[in-house]
Amino acid sequence: MSTIRDWARVLTTDSTATSFASKVATRTEPSGDGVISLVKGNDKHGKEGYDTIELMPFGGGADDETFDLRVIGWRKVNAAAAQNALWVPTTLCEASVVLCSATGVDGTAVENEDFFADAITVGKGIGVVPSVTANVMGAVLIVSVEGYEKCEVTFDRTGSSDTANALYVTY
């Protein structure tokens, strides 16, 4: 039996970043917009987490405009004391996105000036892109996040899009 889960926005406010932010090991637990907890719960053997994230990118601009996205996995180095914890980032997947003519709907999570993706090309890491057709919305990127406590989705719109974002679901 599977659990049905709704899409959620990766970012509250669409990204206008023109490069990927640098991510380095840190004592500070990753949090904030774009950081997604993959923890389902705790049991006697440790934390149980989601294995997969599915992303449906969208952005502002017009048909055929582009941006890149990166999925980063965050895993903690086991430390006896919480203050000695070290969070280490790993780039799991990097992909280029091409927007299509299909848009969202005014007053919803994806507005009518947001264009869905119709093509995604994985450049680094491992991601699965089920086949889609040009100018037909619904291109998705599926990335394994198994074993990571958190993941972070970042955007680089050095392409032509005005903004970048995505919907996500974990399973």
Q: Does any domain span residue 2?
A: no
Residue listed under structure tokens 């709704």: 6
Per DSSP, the residues of 37-106 read: E-EEEEETTEEEE--EEEEEEEEES-TT-EEEEEEEEEEEEP-SSGGG-EEEEEEEEEEEEEEEEEE--T
Give the pTM.
0.93
Q: Does any domain span residue 1?
A: no
Cα(163)–Cα(168) distance, rounded to whole angstroms?
17
% helix / strand / coil in the chain, to the nearest 5? 0, 50, 45
Q: Does any domain span residue 132?
A: yes
Q: Which domain holds residue 37?
A: 8-170
Span 150-161, pLDDT tens digits:
999 999 998 899
Q: Does any domain span residue 110?
A: yes
Q: Does any domain span residue 125?
A: yes
Nearest to 57 by CA among 145, 143, 148, 150: 143
Span 75-128, pLDDT tens digits:
999 776 667 889 999 999 999 999 999 999 999 999 999 999 999 999 999 999
Total structural domains within the chain: 1
Q: Does any domain span residue 64?
A: yes
Q: Does any domain span residue 21?
A: yes
Q: Does any domain span residue 43?
A: yes
Report how far apart, in Å, the C-alpha atoms of 99 and of each of 57, 74, 118, 153, 158 are: 8, 28, 6, 18, 14
Span 123-157, pLDDT tens digits:
999 999 987 777 777 799 999 999 999 999 999 99
